[in-house]
Amino acid sequence: MIQHKNIDCPRRGSYLFAMKKMKLRTKIIIWVLAVLLILYNAGVNVLISAALKPDFMRKLDAFQRVTDKSYSEMVQTDEITENTGKAREEAKAFVEKADGSKVRILSYDGYQLIASVFRQPEPEGRPWVILLHGYTGWKEEMYHYAARYYDEGFNILCPDLRCQGQSEGDFIGMGWTDREDVVLWMNEILASYPDAKIVIHGESMGASCALMMMGLILPENVVCIISDCAMEDAMSMFRKQLRDWFGIPDIGLIGSARIWLLIRGGYDLKDASALNEVTKGSVPVLFIHGDEDRLVPAGDAKDLYEDCASPEKEIMIVQGAGHAQSCYRDPDAYYAEVFGFIEECM
């Protein structure tokens, strides 16, 4: 005989209700996590654009914030202020007297790049210098260096690095994508002057770019690199500036930014490491850095110097100079060191 067991309907109903409630709670958690993930990735993309797209930076006032913060970290002395003013006057006089022209090339990935070229009245047989500006900069910022080189008999090429100045580009390359662009500019010089001797002189990010070029196969025409206040690597700098400029802790943002930059910009931020690339080349290098640089510590120059594989290398630590201020702290000593080193390498 089959016995039927009575089912406790209230308990079964409570169980089903609890299960439905749990499923609803799980769905809510999944939706919340999905929304948070979307917002996080959106925030990372805004961060990338705010750091590597000058036009976007201006819309967020980030450009002005970075400029103001950088200026506040400079060494402010009467001597440096006076020498900075003199350098600007020298740059202005140089542009008025020199034979300048604009040159355009296409990058390997299809962007139009712009440079200013200044040739000597008789350019044949004269050395060339390629002057590379810093982060969010433009070619005109390098004209005070150009004035000194021009007086020493150099032909000069000052490019706007990609996504800066008049040059096209999706993102600032932090020196990594720029290094191949500079090779194109070098080829442009050698197409007309195949025996030209070339000096690469960079400031800040431009100096890091010059050092990253040591990982490439460069023509023998490159006689030396002048690296003024280069950063060791882009990732370390962004971690520091994320905190200093925007007041945001890393919390994994840099790692996420690497992935999105690789997708959107075509390069890995971790690759932008001068410290890695200086171990690969033998081009002579002069490292210059101010001992009061609060943007890129002078320790970076010392590390780069120590790791540099070049058998011909020197380092000049300028007392009392902040970021990119070594040439203003004592211009005569600065250029004596620069042109003395170049002469040894020619």
One-letter amino acid for residue 208 of the chain:
S
> Would you say residue 1 has pLDDT above 50?
no
Using an 8 Å Cβ cutoff, are 253 and 281 in contact?
Answer: no
Mean pLDDT of the chain, nearest integer: 88
Domain boundary assignment for the chain: 77-233+272-345
One-letter amino acid for residue 157 of the chain:
L
Distance of CA 210 to the CA centre of its chain: 11
Using an 8 Å Cβ cutoff, are 99 and 109 in contact?
Answer: no
> 11: part of which helix (H) or strand (E)?
helix 9-52
> Would you say residue 209 has pLDDT above 60?
yes
**pLDDT tier at 52, thresholds 50, 70, 90:** confident
How many Å apart are CA 260 and CA 345, to the nearest integer?
Answer: 42
How many Å apart are CA 107 and CA 176, to the nearest integer?
Answer: 13
> Would you say residue 32 has pLDDT above 60?
yes
What angle do helix axes 234-246 and 9-52 make, rounded to 10 degrees? 100
At 229, is the secondary structure helix, strand, or coil?
coil
At 203, is the secondary structure helix, strand, or coil?
strand
Question: For position 102, what pLDDT does the model report?
Answer: 96
Flag the least confident range among 40-49, 232-241, 331-340.
Answer: 40-49
How many Å apart are CA 187 and CA 208, to the nearest integer?
Answer: 20
- pLDDT of 252-267, one tens digit each? 777 888 888 888 888 9
Going by the DSSP 8-state scheme, the letter that residue 141 receives in this structure is G
One-letter amino acid for residue 165 of the chain:
G
What tokens does 47 get? Answer: 């961060």
Question: For position 57, what pLDDT does the model report?
Answer: 74
Backbone φ and ψ for 169, nearest 5 degrees, come out as 155, 150
**pLDDT tier at 337, thresholds 50, 70, 90:** very high
Flag the least confident range among 8-12, 180-184, 263-267.
Answer: 8-12
> Would you say residue 186 has pLDDT above 70?
yes
pTM for this model (two decimals): 0.87
In this structure, which CATH number among 3.40.50.1820, 2.120.10.80, 2.70.160.11, 3.30.200.20 belongs to the domain 77-233+272-345?
3.40.50.1820
Question: For position 181, what pLDDT does the model report?
Answer: 97
- Of residues 190 and 65, which shows the higher confidence score? 190
Using an 8 Å Cβ cutoff, are 144 and 90 in contact?
Answer: yes
Average pLDDT over residues 266-277: 93
- pLDDT of 138-161, one tens digit each? 999 999 999 999 999 999 999 999
Highest mean pLDDT of the ranges 27-31, 62-66, 131-135: 131-135
